[in-house]
Amino acid sequence: MQTKSPAMDLDSRYPLTKEQTQYFRQKGFVKLKDVLSADAINHYGDQITRKVIDLNTMHVPLEKRSTYDKAFLQIQNIWEKDAVVREFVFGERLARIATELMGCRGVRMYHDQALYKEPSGGHTPWHADQYYWPLETNKSCTAWIPLQATPLDMGPLAFAAGSHNVTFGRDLAISDESEQQIQKAMQARNFPLIEEPFDLGEVSFHYGWTFHRAGPNTTQTPRKVMTIIYIDVDMRLAPPVNNNQQRDWERWCPGAEIGEVINSPINPVMYEQ
């Protein structure tokens, strides 16, 4: 029976420290070095890229797109469509990190999504992800996994540290309006902007209510990123408060009932302690 190379390991425990966990809970995000090996990123990243090209339906020239569509190509739940990508997404290492950071007994899949910022792609406006998610608590987080080293001119993810604790802006979808209003609010409240490059193998995790953005990709190379969104294994469905949450309920939590644990066939348990 063929076994994977240790360099391809997706399942062993990452040595998360108490300081890193405390930082995540206080600041709303954390960046972790050497979470995945270069071999693993290159192997799985190549297949993710092939599927992004295969599944992409956005062919409008950049200059004719909306601000949202200029920000990235977005391909979701690739794990349902490709066995190799599923192997990557279901790795226990990332799911265990999310579990330990949030202090849950385990996590479920909400969905995955590739976010590819094309050469000359625009900025990603300030927003909080959980605006889109009909979830009862704040125990949700996104693993943001660059598939190459990501310098500042490629548009790495940037965070407003501590912003997961404020409620202003939680009713704003990603837009020019969210960019302007949240930027102004974060400055007025003196939330530090943490905008740094990502090394190869570095992964960030942020709460669903942490405000974040990304700059434009001014290089001639795509900024390739895979993300996995985790929710508390005991997360219950909340009544949708906007049309986006209604759509997310129907697409990402099919058959789930308001007030009940989100336990649909596409919300499997990813890790339990």
Tens of pLDDT along the chain (273 residues) come to 445 566 789 999 999 999 999 999 999 999 999 999 999 999 999 999 999 999 999 999 998 999 988 889 999 999 999 999 999 999 999 999 999 999 999 999 999 999 999 999 999 999 999 999 999 999 999 999 999 999 999 999 999 999 999 999 999 999 999 999 999 999 999 999 999 999 999 999 999 999 999 999 999 999 999 999 999 999 999 999 999 999 999 999 999 999 999 999 999 999 999
Task: Give me Rg for the CA atoms of the chain.
Answer: 18
Instruction: Please tell me the predicted confidence (pLDDT) of residue 68.
Output: 87
Instruction: Please tell me the predicted confidence (pLDDT) of residue 194.
Output: 98
Q: Which residues pair with 135 in a beta bridge?
A: 237
Instruction: Please tell me the predicted confidence (pLDDT) of residue 131.
Output: 97
Instruction: Please tell me the predicted confidence (pLDDT) of residue 2.
Output: 46
Q: Which residues pair with 214 in a beta bridge?
A: 124, 157
The Cβ of residue 146 has, within 10 Å, a number of other Cβ atoms equal to 25
Instruction: Please tell me the predicted confidence (pLDDT) of residue 4.
Output: 59
The rounded Cα 175 to chain-centroid distance in angstroms is: 18
Q: Are strands 140-146 and 157-160 parallel, antiparallel or unpaired?
A: unpaired
CA atoms within 13 A on the CB side of 156: 23
Instruction: Please tell me the predicted confidence (pLDDT) of residue 23.
Output: 98
Query: Cβ neighbours of residue 92 under 8 Å, at least 6 residues apart?
Result: 10, 11, 270, 271
Which of the following CATH numbers is that of domain 23-272: 3.40.50.1970, 2.60.120.620, 3.20.20.100, 1.10.357.10?
Answer: 2.60.120.620
Instruction: Please tell me the predicted confidence (pLDDT) of residue 6.
Output: 67
Residue 254 CA to residue 262 CA, distance in Å, equals 9
